Amino acid sequence: MSDVVIHFAGVSKNFAAKGGITEAVRDVNLPIARNEFVCVVGPSGCGKTTLLQLCAGLARPTAGRVVYKGREITGINTDAGYITQESNLYPWRSLIENVEFSLEMRGMAKAERRREAQQFIDLMGLAGFEEHYPYQLSGGMQKRASIARTMVYDPDVVLMDEPFGALDAQTRMILQAELLKVWSLKAKTILFITHDIVEAIALADRVVLMTRRPGTIKDVFRVDLPRPRNVFEIHGQPGFAEMYRRIWEHFKVEMKVE
């Protein structure tokens, strides 16, 4: 694969726990190319979030290396955007103040950062709510604001940890569509964690399936469904059913489903 941006090279990670050592992931080998959208699926506790933490520099591998743009990650990776399961908006700041926060920290002039923030607010369908505070926004709107706040400072790589998991099905599909729109317009590399096979197929170029803990890569599936994809009608898209069946046949073994 040419132009690799993230490379997990023989990565294992252990955590000290009460009563011993927990082996989270074992011997993970995964290259991710520039502008690629990769979804990682697997059972709960298989180390999916650990991979994001390693890429963000929030944890160090016990063995192996995590290489980012040709250099091994040895500290906090401030170059990558990280969107967690929680929106983590500042309750004392309005929506637009939340979105422009990272630009403010970089010393960008107020008028310029306001223009940049407004662009992403518009892109995420939040126009008209600029002066609302987080408690005045729905869960879906808070998640849109969180995505806008990350995308506004233009990271090449975005790490997303089940960002839509707590949302209702309709809101989730709307945000999936918004995310694909931003990804196609802004040419980002996205590593996206999910439990949902349908979501993974709807979004990804490749779906990475992990085993139960200690998590290692069981298989990688290339999603050949054409783009742009209609996430609202993904079940009816030619090739979807076969792709779902292939992934589920492997996934159910890890979930111990007969």
Cis peptide before 61 (omega within 30 of 0): no
pTM for the whole thing? 0.91
CA angle 83, 49, 120 (to 5 degrees): 10
**H or E segment and range at residue 217:** strand 217-222
d(CA 75, CA 63) in angstroms, rounded, equals: 16
Residues 146-181 have pLDDT tens digits of 989 998 888 999 999 998 887 888 888 998 998 998
Mean pLDDT value across residues 100-123 = 90
Kindly report the number of other CB atoms within 10 A of residue 119's CB atom. 14
Tokens encoding 4:
């690799």
pLDDT value for 254: 81
